[in-house]
Amino acid sequence: MASIRTVLGDVTPDAVGPVMFHEHVLFDIVPPGLDGDRDGPIGIEDRWQMDYRSNESARNALQTDRAVAASELAAYAADGGSLIVDQSVFGLARDMAGLAEASRDSGVHVVAAAGTYVDAYMTPEIRTMPVALLADRFASEVLDGADGTGLRAGLIGEIGCSWPLLPSETRALEASADAQRRTGAAISVHPGRHPDACGQILDILAANGADLSRVVLCHMDRTHPDGAGIEPLLQRGANVEWDFFGIEQSHYWMTDDVELPTDLGRLRLIRDFAARGFADRILVSHDICTKTRLRRWGGHGYGHILRNVRALMQRLDFGADLIGALLRDTPVRLLTLKETAP
Ligand SMILES: [Zn+2]
């Protein structure tokens, strides 16, 4: 039977409503080597600046409190959210038991992620692990449970890629393709910050037998900010994701080379690609990975797209079918595990 694998067990697709496909619910994405106070409070007088330059503050880049996670998910449910995917893979403080607790306490379905993030977040053991062992590990996280729990992941990735791609990351992509064949799970990839990154990633996945129609390329907002370079990825059958919704600023904190689109700018690009026949290959999300984007710290929270962006979609004359595809049908299709050969 068709099923979506949540941390509390498998559910049928028809039991699932609106989905946010790329979020972080319990996470520690503090860059290795970044000094500074990890545990201090964030005062209201510092909140905006910390959000604006959000790579500079260690204490903003982690949220590991289960009760806070549950209250943020409850707020998402109040905005109509049904399911959320926490793409915090190994290296980002993945907390399977914490996700199960937050899901139970909030009533929101939570899907956890198999796989590894960029090289800088790997342990020496993972960094040098042969592809076959890495593939066993990723597949086991979906089939048996992750991190020594019996709680299972329902998606592979976000698999972290740098630019240029590092050998450990190439192996993780190769392992993802193998794990996809064995589990039927979709693959999500965090591409390196370069316009050629996504094409190279699809080359590696395809050469290793991945089903590109079940691959999601994340972060179009900063990888292809004006939309140039996306159509060839769609032509190859892949899915693309705008996952910076709620970041309403032009300044991109990771580089001076990119001017970020706003929410309306994102939607105009999405409307163009939908009109060219790719309406069912587009995902939207917030990729929240800092405190200052959560409700508790004055941010927009996981419900912003449902609460605010839906109205912007209507303002730009998105039809009901397109809105339904973006908010539910496409993520549900990708999360539904594909039957694997016995
Ligand atoms: Zn992410």
Q: How far is the CA of 342 from the centre of ligand 1 (A)?
A: 32
Digit-coded pLDDT (tens) for 289-325: 999 999 999 999 999 999 999 999 999 999 999 999 9
Q: How far is the CA of 94 from the centre of ligand 1 (A)?
A: 12
Digit-coded pLDDT (tens) for 8-67: 999 999 999 999 999 999 999 999 988 888 999 999 999 999 999 998 899 999 999 999
Q: How far is the CA of 269 from the centre of ligand 1 (A)?
A: 21
Q: How far is the CA of 66 from the centre of ligand 1 (A)?
A: 19
pLDDT score for 198 = 98
Strands (E), 205-310: 215-217, 239-242, 282-284
Q: How far is the CA of 314 from the centre of ligand 1 (A)?
A: 27
Q: How far is the CA of 289 from the centre of ligand 1 (A)?
A: 7
pLDDT score for 55 = 85
What does each of the 342 residues of the chain score in pLDDT, given as a tens digit? 799 999 999 999 999 999 999 999 999 999 998 888 899 999 999 999 999 999 889 999 999 999 999 999 999 999 999 999 999 999 999 999 999 999 999 999 999 999 999 999 999 999 999 999 999 999 999 999 999 999 999 999 999 999 999 999 999 999 999 999 999 999 999 999 999 999 999 999 999 999 999 999 999 999 999 999 999 999 999 999 999 999 999 999 999 999 999 999 999 999 999 999 999 999 999 999 999 999 999 999 999 999 999 999 999 999 999 999 999 999 999 999 998 866
Neighbours of 90 (CB within 10 A): 22
Q: How far is the CA of 157 from the centre of ligand 1 (A)?
A: 9
Q: CATH assignment of 12-335?
A: 3.20.20.140
Parse the chain into domains and list their residue ranges.
12-335
Q: How far is the CA of 159 from the centre of ligand 1 (A)?
A: 9
pLDDT score for 200 = 98
pLDDT score for 35 = 85
Closest of 200, 196, 193 to residue 222, by C-alpha: 193
| 164 prior amide bond cis, ω within 30 | yes
Torsion region of 289: left, alpha or beta (phi above 0 gives left; psi -120 to 50 gives alpha): alpha
- CA dist 225 and 261 (Å) reads 6
Which residues fall inside 5 Å of ion ligand 1, going by CB?
87, 287
Q: Taking CA 256 as the corner, what is the angle to CA 201 and CA 59, rounded to the nearest 5 degrees?
A: 85
Q: How far is the CA of 196 from the centre of ligand 1 (A)?
A: 20
pLDDT score for 213 = 98
| 3 state DSSP class of 67 | helix
Q: How far is the CA of 252 from the centre of ligand 1 (A)?
A: 15
Q: Are 204 and 129 in contact (CB under 8 A)?
A: no
Q: How far is the CA of 114 from the centre of ligand 1 (A)?
A: 13
CA distances from 175 to 56, 60, 126, 156, 165 (A): 32, 32, 12, 10, 15
pLDDT score for 342 = 62
Q: How far is the CA of 44 from the centre of ligand 1 (A)?
A: 25
Q: How far is the CA of 88 from the centre of ligand 1 (A)?
A: 7
